[in-house]
Amino acid sequence: MSKIPVGVLGAGIVGQQYIALLKEHPWFEPRFIAASPRSAGKKFRDATAGRVYHPGIVEAVGDIIVSDANDVSAALSAAKAGNCAFVFSALELGKDEMCALENAYAAAGIPVISNASAHRWTPDVPVLIAEVNHHHTDIIPVQKKARGWDKGFIAVKPNCSIQSYTTPLHALIMEGYEIKRLIVTTLQAVSGAGYPGVPSLDMIDNIVPYIGGEEEKTELEPLKILGTMENGVFKNAEYPKISAHCTRVPVTDGHSACVSVEFGDKKPSIDEVKRIWASFKSLPQELNLPMAPKQPIIIRDEADRPQPRKDRDADKAMAVSVGRIRPCNVFDIRFTGLSHNSVRGAAGGGILNAELLKHQGYLA
Amino acid sequence: MSKIPVGVLGAGIVGQQYIALLKEHPWFEPRFIAASPRSAGKKFRDATAGRVYHPGIVEAVGDIIVSDANDVSAALSAAKAGNCAFVFSALELGKDEMCALENAYAAAGIPVISNASAHRWTPDVPVLIAEVNHHHTDIIPVQKKARGWDKGFIAVKPNCSIQSYTTPLHALIMEGYEIKRLIVTTLQAVSGAGYPGVPSLDMIDNIVPYIGGEEEKTELEPLKILGTMENGVFKNAEYPKISAHCTRVPVTDGHSACVSVEFGDKKPSIDEVKRIWASFKSLPQELNLPMAPKQPIIIRDEADRPQPRKDRDADKAMAVSVGRIRPCNVFDIRFTGLSHNSVRGAAGGGILNAELLKHQGYLA
Amino acid sequence: MSKIPVGVLGAGIVGQQYIALLKEHPWFEPRFIAASPRSAGKKFRDATAGRVYHPGIVEAVGDIIVSDANDVSAALSAAKAGNCAFVFSALELGKDEMCALENAYAAAGIPVISNASAHRWTPDVPVLIAEVNHHHTDIIPVQKKARGWDKGFIAVKPNCSIQSYTTPLHALIMEGYEIKRLIVTTLQAVSGAGYPGVPSLDMIDNIVPYIGGEEEKTELEPLKILGTMENGVFKNAEYPKISAHCTRVPVTDGHSACVSVEFGDKKPSIDEVKRIWASFKSLPQELNLPMAPKQPIIIRDEADRPQPRKDRDADKAMAVSVGRIRPCNVFDIRFTGLSHNSVRGAAGGGILNAELLKHQGYLA
Amino acid sequence: MSKIPVGVLGAGIVGQQYIALLKEHPWFEPRFIAASPRSAGKKFRDATAGRVYHPGIVEAVGDIIVSDANDVSAALSAAKAGNCAFVFSALELGKDEMCALENAYAAAGIPVISNASAHRWTPDVPVLIAEVNHHHTDIIPVQKKARGWDKGFIAVKPNCSIQSYTTPLHALIMEGYEIKRLIVTTLQAVSGAGYPGVPSLDMIDNIVPYIGGEEEKTELEPLKILGTMENGVFKNAEYPKISAHCTRVPVTDGHSACVSVEFGDKKPSIDEVKRIWASFKSLPQELNLPMAPKQPIIIRDEADRPQPRKDRDADKAMAVSVGRIRPCNVFDIRFTGLSHNSVRGAAGGGILNAELLKHQGYLA
């Protein structure tokens, strides 16, 4: 069976992560790459010389001529010439520019599976975690109709910082436990800031207790994801209220989160929480999608886990690892969650979204 | 004016930190050192060969013959021979052994200013942060009388993990703002675990979301410190209820804490909080004690501070730096605090306690 | 085809690395594990609780009851009960104890493929890098006969610090270029020191310019490996004379070496060196042994490679990566080499040796 | 006695380091600061907001209005208005631009004590290590005359990478030991690359075996410094021939060097080398210049020293620490040297040069 040709917008950390994961993918094959003008017109191998982060990707796509992502019409022609069924968007542009660019692709009939934050609060764009709100893709026909788009559409994934607790919370909500409030401190990896990203002078013998814009995303995006769709309109969840402290730590990959949770009146025991998490499965698992982890939430029983270096790669780096599940002195329970920010929280999550959309018939 | 001879129990990280700070101290001079049997009988320079962490301490005390801390009677003779007015206790022993050892010194007429956790919950032993509960030393006559001790007594300092928020909380309480609940995540430095302490394999490209016993200390010790003394008995504070997530990060010195605070009915504005902290001074500042920071709480206005490497050394490493003071989505305010764990949180805090006790006449 | 049951002596970093690699091995299957008395008598999963470094190994061998490696006769019984064809030795014992233990296994008919340094200078024990001196296994019949051993024998691998340059040097020697002198500085990863190994206080914002015993191994072991065998006796190479500076750097895995090389009268050009290294293949490649890298020496053309995190995992972490091949101002050429110390330099190298020995009929 | 007003060109890592050191200097006082157009026209406190690396410098010079270093004539006016006796140059510009800028200051009568590499190979500009070639300042009258400069002149300091071995080599040469060849591997700190400098993704669990342009400087600059002056012309030393491997390691401050040395026919014993280094003093020590270390070369006898974090700050961070002095298998001796790159190797070295020049009457 021949693979579906797809495009990747971006040749930085996330763009390369996409290519690295797609290299072995059973359904999709990267055939088109667009990046900044600096890279445009060069072969991928030359455009990324000296800044390749994954073994094997140069061998896989080194001869693809990189298009200029900013020259949308030319890039579109190239994408179409390559018969791209859709594109993964991993560029780093300003919000307006990014929205315009992604709109242009969708308008030209090329669906956009995006990592960018630009469209996350666009009312008719779904923000997808495949295990949590796969039904939010129901908005796509509404989106297409409103925009007058035929084949194209836009679906995005949320910020990497929320992955380590949103799926666990969702699993509890699905079992009838309302979650009222959440106080979370994240310890985030430097790859989340791209390359060159965080200077080493800030990450040797140091942590930085601030990441610009990150706390707002961490507090708000879960509400859209956990929300409902009524009459073709998303209605954000009212709860949980989230307070986030986002910090940067000297870790390459793997965002950790220390979470205190307050439930509504109905409160699960610690054992019940563990039981729910250990047994949680969702649509991607039922469909056995290629990028789906077998077990979306892995419980670590050791006193000192999860840890980034030991647990981030669990199940293709797509599983969320949780540990230290214990009562909270102030709220009801607390735990530590961990997910691989540039796989589960970026390219891997995007590919899983594409697999879901393919299954649902949106990427025919 | 000749200096007061003092002793140091311990030659590890904290013991050496004591010696390093005392080297330049205007009042006290280290004359007696006791450590583990491994070091005993050797000159300090030989006992610590290959594991000296501070420049200049070998020059200062290298010729002192280290006593065997476990052989209490011999050590006491040596301490008395050196006319030690009191000892700083920084040994790492089990709780019972440590209590017995410190009791023996006190019983022999040598006051013990301790870093150890062993006596923190002994009812008649004060746990002192000099700026917060300097009046808790009023228990000392009670303690002496109950134990039948003449000159000796025991006073301890709290765990290093609470320093970055207890003084700020106290400053708010002093202005009439009751604090009900606190959720705190600490990012703690490896020096807190001593040497060899945390293996490097756990601290390269990694964090560890757990420190044995640390969360309990972090949650409970503030309640004794913030408590009152009535009729010669300590009464622990009922509030704040504290929930702590204690994590270890790849930082040499400087514990950070991300704190969310819930006040009682009376709630200060962010500006009021800043005003209170910026202007807070206490008895050590009024007395101008040598080790006291001029300003116990330093506010950093930059978006990304305090940071361990940039702020831990503020004001002789004795000031607490706070930043990111902002409203909390879930509680009332949040902030990040930082203090130098092995100075403010260990040897420096102990020396400041000794200065306070000297001023109060307990170390005559 | 059923797999050959094998044993692993050691449950530390290297022992676990063996199990992790053997988990997927097409020929060998770990059935017997012996470790320190502390672990003995427990299931592997319990013996290693809280100190497992590789995902999946607990699932693979968790139920194996760990034998007491110090109780050699009991361990031997267990090994034989498990029909172990041979054992991989990765214990950390003193030299005499280690020699005695390995001798006991060999005498009992169980060949020992060892990582330990104990037997490296035993005259009739080969020190093997499979691509370099695979013919040194010819000593084994001599060894067996001299010791009166029937099936058992001992073969060891060299220190991890020499892997990044010994194979490249051998490739040049094979093309007729005599190597006279070598000055090498290694930048070695902390996993080489085991666990807990190097304290984090020494590896945050620091390097340590010394590793006990390492320079001697780095300077001498290549001479045995590059030596010849005449009349059943090894004759060490006289050249190259090696001067090593061994340093420890904050890297988890991957030893780097900065090497300056002086040739004999016949000196290759830089291009010739590159050509030789790029095309070098040896017996393991010809035999297509499972653990053999396709290309033993990978040339990185980028100005700033090889780097530990980017290159250590090349070709199952079994290839040596070299870069910065350039003329030397003082000697003839210089380069930087890199190899994965706990795979190529430890467990992976040991398994490749076993594959070679199996092919040669010594592990029938 | 009032202090001499001086200027600082640059507000990055080195510029700030100058200000931090000058803050307490007994002779000089920073009154004028010029930096990039981005900073120009702002108060220093605002220009450097969020990127201040040293405590106290904002308090010291925060109100100085930063001049535009690129607008040389305006900057010169400001410098003169501030009565600057001379300027420390720590800008990061291209070579031609830098030469032109420094020439302009000198031509305007303002001597330039520079950190920049631009003028290091200008024939009549001295490259000074105050303990090594203080007599090279004899070129200054020649330089002034040739350029037609009245008061102004240019004197520079060498690259930070050579500090840890050039002074030790000079001490040996002064005792009659000719040094023929040197193979050196440096392990350099990230502060040497400025800020933002080296990305943290390259310095977590990694080293980089390459620093652009660094090896050439490391190999050649010592030859000018160790050279002679004849008839108003510098004559570079012919020896030692140096081969350098320059690597970047995860250390904030402190460059290490592993050095193998080949002497001429006359070879000192290890004890003789130690004796020479331990007793070495030079003109800055005789003059007791404020920034001069009491002992320029400190010998560490511990097996594992010098180490960056433990030794870089020795004697105001101005001393070179050496250790591991031992015979070399290939050359004659080997050792490890360490110096603080941003103090001894940058701002501190520049200030010491200014003190020397002041003493010699060039900064009247």
D209 and C336 in contact by Cβ < 8 A? Answer: yes
Count of helix runs (H) and strand runs (E) in chain D = 13, 14
Chain A residue numbers with beta carbons less than 8 Å from the beta carbon of D250 are: 200, 204
Please report which confidence band the pLDDT of residue C76 belongs to, taking 50, 70 and 90 as the band edges. Answer: confident
Beta strands in A84-147 (DSSP E): 87-89, 112-114
B residues 299-318 closer than 8 Å to A (CB)? 303-310
pLDDT higher than threshold 70 for residue B355: yes
Give residue D211's pLDDT: 98
- Mean pLDDT for C195-219 is 97
List the single residue in D with minimal CA-CA distance to C249.
D249
Is residue D245 within 8 Å of D185, Cβ to Cβ?
yes
Percentage of chain C beyond pLDDT 90 is: 88
Please report which confidence band the pLDDT of residue A175 belongs to, taking 50, 70 and 90 as the band edges. Answer: very high
Segment (H or E) for B172: helix B163-174
Catalytic (active site) residue B119: no
Query: CA-CA distances (angstroms) from residue A70 to A98, A108, A173, C38, D295?
Result: 10, 15, 42, 63, 60
List the single residue in D with minimal CA-CA distance to B304.
D50
| Bigger pLDDT: D37 vs A269 | A269
Q: Residue C278's closest CA among C233, C245, C234, C322?
A: C322
Burial of A15 (0-12, 13-18, 19+ CB in 10 A): buried
- Mean pLDDT for D156-180 is 97
pLDDT digits (tens, 9 = 90+) for C320-332: 999 999 999 999 9
Give residue C364's pLDDT: 72
Give residue C50's pLDDT: 78
Query: Cis (ω within 30 of 0) for the bond into D55?
Result: no
Residues 6 or more apart whose Cβ sits within 8 Å of residue A322: A164, A168, A277, A297, A298, A299, A300, A306, A335, A336, A337, A338
Among residues D160, D170, D246, D340, the one annotated as catalytic is D160
Give residue B54's pLDDT: 82
Facing C55 at nearest CB: one of A53, A252, A314: A314
Residue A245 CA to residue A215 CA, distance in Å, equals: 6
> Subunits with at least 3 CB pairs below 8 A relative to chain A?
B, C, D
Residue C180 CA to residue C161 CA, distance in Å, equals: 20
Facing A49 at nearest CB: one of C204, C302, C314: C302
Q: How confident is the prediction for chain C on average, in pLDDT?
A: 95
> Subunits with at least 3 CB pairs below 8 A relative to chain C?
A, B, D
D residues 152-211 closer than 8 Å to C (CB)? 181-183, 185, 187, 202, 204-210
**Residue C341 C-alpha, separation from nearest chain B C-alpha, in angstroms:** 14
A258/B contact by beta carbon, under 8 A: yes
Cβ contacts below 8 Å, chain A against chain C, sum to: 24
Is residue B93 within 8 Å of B12, Cβ to Cβ?
no
pLDDT digits (tens, 9 = 90+) for D227-256: 999 999 999 999 999 999 999 999 999 999
Segment (H or E) for A160: none
Query: CA-CA distances (angstroms) from residue C86 to C30, C40, C112?
Result: 10, 20, 6
Among residues B25, B119, B136, B160, the one annotated as catalytic is B160
Q: Residue B76's closest CA among B111, B44, B126, B119?
A: B111
Give residue B1's pLDDT: 65
Give residue D173's pLDDT: 98
List the single residue in A with minimal CA-CA distance to D206.
A252
Percentage of chain C beyond pLDDT 70 is: 100
D200 and A205 in contact by Cβ < 8 A? Answer: no
- Mean pLDDT for B165-187 is 98
Residue B163 CA to residue D218 CA, distance in Å, equals: 46
A residues 213-252 closer than 8 Å to C (CB)? 252
pLDDT higher than threshold 80 for residue D1: no
- Mean pLDDT for B26-43 is 93
pLDDT digits (tens, 9 = 90+) for A80-136: 888 899 999 999 889 999 999 999 999 999 999 999 999 999 999 999 999 999 999
Residue type, B100: A
**Residue C302 C-alpha, separation from nearest chain D C-alpha, in angstroms:** 10
Give residue B44's pLDDT: 95
Give residue B256's pLDDT: 98
Residue C173 CA to residue C144 CA, distance in Å, equals: 30
**Residue C157 C-alpha, separation from nearest chain A C-alpha, in angstroms:** 28
Chain B residue numbers with beta carbons less than 8 Å from the beta carbon of C250 are: 200, 204
Residue D59 CA to residue A316 CA, distance in Å, equals: 52
Chain A residue numbers with beta carbons less than 8 Å from the beta carbon of B164 are: none
C286/A contact by beta carbon, under 8 A: no
Is residue C344 within 8 Å of C12, Cβ to Cβ?
no
Chain C residue numbers with beta carbons less than 8 Å from the beta carbon of D207 are: 187, 249, 251, 256, 307-308
| Pairing between β-strand D241-248 and β-strand D179-188 as defined by DSSP bridges | parallel
Q: Model's pTM, two decimal places?
A: 0.96
Please report which confidence band the pLDDT of residue D354 belongs to, taking 50, 70 and 90 as the band edges. Answer: very high
Tokens of D228: 């002679």
B196 and C191 in contact by Cβ < 8 A? Answer: no
Residue D65 CA to residue A291 CA, distance in Å, equals: 57
Please report which confidence band the pLDDT of residue B73 belongs to, taking 50, 70 and 90 as the band edges. Answer: confident
pLDDT higher than threshold 70 for residue B310: yes
Beta strands in B191-275 (DSSP E): 228-230, 233-235, 241-248, 255-263
User: Which of A51, A198, A200, A341 best tests the D interface by mutation, with the highest count of D CBs <10 A?
Assistant: A200
Chain B residue numbers with beta carbons less than 8 Å from the beta carbon of D254 are: none
pLDDT digits (tens, 9 = 90+) for A335-364: 999 999 999 999 999 999 999 999 999 997
Is residue B318 within 8 Å of B343, Cβ to Cβ?
yes
A190 and D201 in contact by Cβ < 8 A? Answer: yes
Give residue C4's pLDDT: 95
How far does CA D52 lie from the centroid of its chain? 21
Q: Please provide the distance, in angstroms rounded to a whole number, between the alpha carbons at the two ends of chain C.
A: 15
Q: How confident is the prediction for chain A on average, in pLDDT?
A: 95
Residue A323 CA to residue B118 CA, distance in Å, equals: 29
B204 and C202 in contact by Cβ < 8 A? Answer: no
Chain A residue numbers with beta carbons less than 8 Å from the beta carbon of C195 are: none
Q: Residue D105's closest CA among D67, D138, D131?
A: D67
pLDDT digits (tens, 9 = 90+) for C23-48: 999 999 999 999 988 899 999 999 99
Give residue D324's pLDDT: 98
pLDDT higher than threshold 90 for residue D74: no
Q: Residue C258's closest CA among C344, C189, C186, C306?
A: C186
pLDDT higher than threshold 70 for residue A1: no
C307 and D209 in contact by Cβ < 8 A? Answer: yes
Catalytic (active site) residue B255: yes
Give residue C79's pLDDT: 82
Residue B211 CA to residue B213 CA, distance in Å, equals: 6
Give residue D82's pLDDT: 82
